[in-house]
A = this chain, B = another copy of it.
């Protein structure tokens, strides 16, 4: 036989039942939090027209999109017309543009599902991964930014991950700093790109990259000094020189003040060089880290210009996204009952072929009472059937043979104790429902 590759495609994963159940538990928890914050769910297709996505994610992002070939006669052209969604923000904005007249303002929505990016796969980095997004469209108030951060951090607490730190900045602070360093407009995007790699390549790496991009030595040494600086006062002094830097600092300070009663000291900190990769951010931006983990678990920011690109005019908006894939393996499911779907509670044996319709009928009665029930499928000795029931992890095993049929009874065997008892055929569902709840 030809060797067949049975791995999932590079960067994607299969989920066994226990992993599906764990993910479901986590997503349900997050949904509940988003809903008590007044966010309502929407859904959009897995793919969008390519022109909807183009020009939103920066050059790097465009390269990482999964593009879909045209179909039918046009397939041979090699042209593409669709691409898998790269995030939920751009689809949200298209959605908002289409339905704006029937949506409440401000529009608070959440969307949870997979997105796809052709990143190089690595530890905790996948090409198909779940994002849990919340956004507020139609409000310029920083209370919206604060609520987004609060909903995300509360989600983490509810998942049993209270050890988070929020790093907060504003795109305006960055612009102010770049102005203060005297970096010309034309080099600013390059500088931001280099700063965005700080976590990965360190201060010296950033300096190296800025040098290769031709920045003056003096500027590089100023930036390097500031990057190593623990004293925010000096950086604030630099940012505050420009009008836009001032505005940025005010944004940061106001958000910190808004959440001050809810986040203990050290839970949220000003992080003046945090840049966030995506092109569309305009104001406050944030990243949320879990202690002891590398990489942000959640992030987001304000994007006041993106919605306008679709609907015209200016429609302020902000949002954030929580990625669960990196933490799934570390989660402890608090309610182990969620995993019950994996084992049958009751296993119905089959005496012989002629008894099979009645075995199915008994199973139906149990299932009507939400008892997880399997029926023996093959033909075989009762002893083999009992062995299979034990292997499957069933708690109870039922027998219904000619004897039982005559007496209008069913025999129940407790597979952990070996104990057997007979109950009236009519009472079988009722009896097992009680037994199953007892354990």
The minimal Cβ–Cβ distance linking A85 to chain B, given in whole angstroms, is 11
Once A9-B47, A97-B6 are accepted as A-B contacts, the answer to whether A42 and B14 lie under 8 Å apart by CB is yes
Per-residue CB proximity of A388-404 to B under 8 Å, as 1/0?
A: 00011000000000000
A426 interfacial by beta-carbon distance below 8 Å: no
Per-residue CB proximity of A1-20 to B under 8 Å, as 1/0?
A: 10011111100111111011
- The interface residues of chain B lying within 8 Å CB-to-CB of A144 are 377
Tell me what chain A mostly uses at the interface: helix, strand, loop, or mixed: mixed
The minimal Cβ–Cβ distance linking A161 to chain B, given in whole angstroms, is 17
Q: How many residues of A contact B (CB 8 A)?
A: 110
Bound-state Cα–Cα, A75 to B68, Å: 11
Q: Which of A353-377 contact B (CB under 8 A)?
A: 356-358, 360-361, 364, 366-367, 370-377
Q: Is the CB of B17 within 8 A of A357?
A: no
Q: Is the CB of A20 within 8 A of B45?
A: no
The minimal Cβ–Cβ distance linking A365 to chain B, given in whole angstroms, is 10
Residue from A24, A38, A94 with most neighbouring chain B CB atoms (10 Å): A38
From the candidates B20, B147, B370, B378, name the one contacting A42 in the complex (CB within 8 A).
Answer: B20
- The interface residues of chain B lying within 8 Å CB-to-CB of A77 are 78
Bound-state Cα–Cα, A376 to B106, Å: 10
Once A13-B45, A40-B341, A75-B67 are accepted as A-B contacts, the answer to whether A258 and B373 lie under 8 Å apart by CB is no
Q: Is the CB of B63 within 8 A of A41?
A: no
- The interface residues of chain B lying within 8 Å CB-to-CB of A375 are 143, 147
Bound-state Cα–Cα, A16 to B33, Å: 19
User: 8 A-B residue contacts at CB 8 Å?
Assistant: A4-B52, A8-B45, A8-B48, A17-B42, A37-B372, A108-B374, A141-B379, A262-B360
A236 interfacial by beta-carbon distance below 8 Å: no
The minimal Cβ–Cβ distance linking A198 to chain B, given in whole angstroms, is 26
The minimal Cβ–Cβ distance linking A251 to chain B, given in whole angstroms, is 14
A180 interfacial by beta-carbon distance below 8 Å: no
Residue from A8, A75, A140, A310 with most neighbouring chain B CB atoms (10 Å): A8
Q: Which of A85-133 contact B (CB under 8 A)?
A: 94-95, 97-99, 102, 104, 106, 108-109, 114, 116, 118, 128
